[in-house]
Structure 1
């Protein structure tokens, strides 16, 4: 049955518009972006399973670790089989993860939630995340940053859809649940119905992407675009590097460090977003009841910055280059983290602005890295290389919360701390970004010894 999704059956016919590809990619990324909305029902799961915050939080950590591992292991398979089959497999795993998770909630078996949403759903996350990326880059060789930004923007914005939708569904399935009350929790039955609804609904939406995705015909290029112009840009190659060779290069591992540092610093904000704004708002003179409301709105604002940064900054990278844009992410990020630590508590608006720009860099880093890989290694197996690089996300998903929580646990309970208590963690993030900044400066073009033999078409371009 899967042969219906083979690459050769998804080649675009003559006259096909490449602008139909980003919506197909968005259909997948908006769905898997739900992973950022798990906090909506976290307290309800804690109550239902009579578990700790940490025990429930592990579900998200497992999903992120599996995202990186499945992307790394499955990247070459995705390249070989094409985006249509990969997106179908991703939709199947993602939906199945919700269904198995629903079974775990219905039977009060926490391990089934780990297996479902964490392991099975996490595999769907990883395959779904990378499946449209290399296709987008091949459709938009003239503007790879814009193309990947359009799709990966959906992953950052997935929570904007999933958060209010989940609250509305929980309220529909449980009349006693009030989404406007922070302490309100939904029943186990409502959680089961929520997971079933999301699993089925997301599968249907992702199948829209499966039906509409296409790969360009051999030798296709945009009207008016000259492949020879690629050579005029620093760090951009017209050669091809395989995934196996890419991981042997110094540039790959330097970029791994860059992504790890950028993501670790971003998660430093995401991990404590709600309690941090409450603590800073209270210290700035706000009332505690207003602080809770401000925290809820602040998380939504961060999602907007995260989503907008993925498109705006990655598009900007097409103009100024990938290496310079990462110098902005990491260098300006250091300054912003420093200002957040010493002055963020002085005014709520200043705190929100600083944190928002930091999160826009976090999102921009994700959206720009596929184009950076394309510049360094070519389009040959860029999806597989991207999958291997995403192990940096898995590592950062563990390191970021660990760094922040280890500092805060020594200071007291989040939600009752002062701005001074957050400073050690924030200053540590300045150091993390500094490491990434240096790594980015050291990135150089990939040596020719790692290039694949040139095809006749590539030799013609070179000539």
Structure 2
């Protein structure tokens, strides 16, 4: 027992990995500098981010199985190589002005690094914190949400000092180093290990019945054959579709709907990032106190109410407050789901199940922004899209109630 690692250092290593890969959320700050050097359109540059998010979701499904078979240390090392190389090669793509190379380097290679790095610490931290699963996943995934706040000023400073390409070379080396070192400390706890003084808490569904798992729980393939898995997948897909739609158009939406200036809208986007990160920790920690089924459903109630008020109201201050509230709900889906999976399916192959469910992110990453931009182009208004988002969130609310009442598996 003296050789058992410190679980809080495990958590720190996991947060370090997510702070590195979460820098992907700062991609928009590179759009204008890259455009000035290459004359690629903003749409073409943004498409690299879409490819990266798609590859995140798809590669997570494969790497989730990898982390279960080979452990988080090896998966983290793979993630550090792919993500670091992808960022560095992005600098080369800009230097030689090759758009296809940009898509391969940042989108494909970097995206695989994103998916590998995303699933690596989450299942590991859940196992180390059986007494605080929500807190564990909230901490890790909060790092992903907050990363853009750390990356943006550093990248802006570097671009001003050494240029765009050199910035990517430096950041690629930095991300590789941080992720590689952090992954060396990650490992699963010893079999049968529990924290000293832990009081076993039995998670309950919305009907007040204990959520039972047999032994260590289901395998990933067994989980795929349950309705619970697909209901959780669908709720995450709907939540991300609406959230990413708002994220992708928050600035022009504020300017059009309430007449906000460009500068104020840009500041609002920065504040959104803070609430996105805080929401991941707040809702996940709350789920430890009141149970995953109840809190997960509450997220959709709050989200539906906020979207409805946003649709009906035109007050500027209220608009900003509602957008920030919606961002906490968007972040909540990412942080509650891994702990919810542990409650429903057990931790036997948690990383693999989490990887499979993240394919919802890949699908929503395409549907959300395209849905919003298409409807806006057809109607010249954001109101119809908001109405569609309200309907989608209400559907997710209904599904969350159903899965919350029957959140129990039978092997």
SS of residue matched to 1:393: helix
1:365 is aligned, of 333, 351, 356, to 333
Look up the match of 2:234. Answer: 257
- Partner in structure 2 of residue 141 of structure 1: 130
Aligned to 1:238: 213
Q: Which position in structure 1 is the counterpart of 2:391?
A: 431
* Alpha carbons of structure 1 residues 235 and 425: separation in structure 2 relative to 1, 3 Å: farther
Post-superposition offset of 1:281: 4.2
Q: Deviations over 1:381-410 (max 9, x none)?
A: 011000000000011101100110012222
Quote the residue 1:445 is aligned against: 407
8 Å contact from structure 1 (residues 340, 351) kept in 2 = yes
CA distance in 2, matches of 1:171, 1:241: 52
Residue 388 of structure 1: which of 350, 356, 370 is its match? Answer: 356
Is residue 76 from structure 1 mapped to residue 44 from structure 2 by the alignment?
no
| Mapping for residues 158-169 of structure 1, pairs under 5 Å | 158-169=147-158
Q: CA deviation at 1:231?
A: 6.3
- Measure, in 2, the Cα distance between the counterparts of 1:159 and 1:244: 35
Provide, for residues 219-252 of structure 1, a one-character-per-residue CA deviation record: whole Å limited to 9, x for no partner: 110112254x436674633321000111111000
Q: How does 1:21-420 map to 2 (within 5 A)?
A: 21-173=10-162, 190-227=163-200, 229-230=201-202, 234=209, 236-239=211-214, 240-282=217-259, 291-343=261-313, 345-347=314-316, 349-412=317-380
Partners of 2:237 and 2:334 in 1: how far apart?
Answer: 10
Contact 2:4 2:189 in 1 (8 A): no
Quote the offset at 1:165 in angstroms: 1.4
Structure 1 CA distance for aligned equivalents of residues 4 and 65 of structure 2: 29
Instruction: Tell me the distance in 2 between the aligned counterparts of 1:359 and 1:23.
Output: 24
Contact kept? 2:242, 2:368, Cα under 8 Å = yes
Task: Please provide the CA RMSD for this pair.
Answer: 1.6
Q: Counterparts of 1:273 and 1:171 in 2: how far apart (Å)?
A: 27
Q: Work out the CA distance in 2 between the residues paired with 1:214 and 1:117.
A: 28
Where 1:442 maps in the other structure, the secondary structure is: helix
Unpaired runs of at least 5, structure 1: 1-11, 174-189, 413-420, 452-463
Deviations 1:312-360 (A, max 9, x none): 11000011111111212212211111111121x322x211110001000
Structure number with greater Rg is 1
Native 8 Å contact 2:243 2:330 kept in 1: yes
Structure 1 residues 232 and 439, CA gap change in structure 2 (3 angstroms) = closer
Q: State the Cα distance separating 1:44 from its structure 2 match.
A: 2.3
8 Å contact kept, 2:212–2:409: no
Gaps (5+ residues) in structure 2?
Answer: none
Q: Deviations over 1:254-310 (max 9, x none)?
A: 00001001111111210112222223442xxx6xxxx12211211110000000001
| Distance of 2:210 and 2:137 partners within structure 1 | 19
Deviation (angstroms), 1:361: 0.7
Checking the alignment, whether the CA contact within 8 Å between 2:204 and 2:291 is kept in structure 1 is no
Q: CA deviation at 1:46?
A: 2.9
Taking the aligned partners of 1:38 and 1:307, their CA distance within structure 2 comes to 17
Instruction: Using the TM superposition, give the Cα deviation of residue 43 of structure 1 relative to its aligned residue in structure 2, in angstroms.
Output: 2.1
CA contact (8 A) 1:87 1:128 kept: yes
TM-score (norm: length of structure 1): 0.84
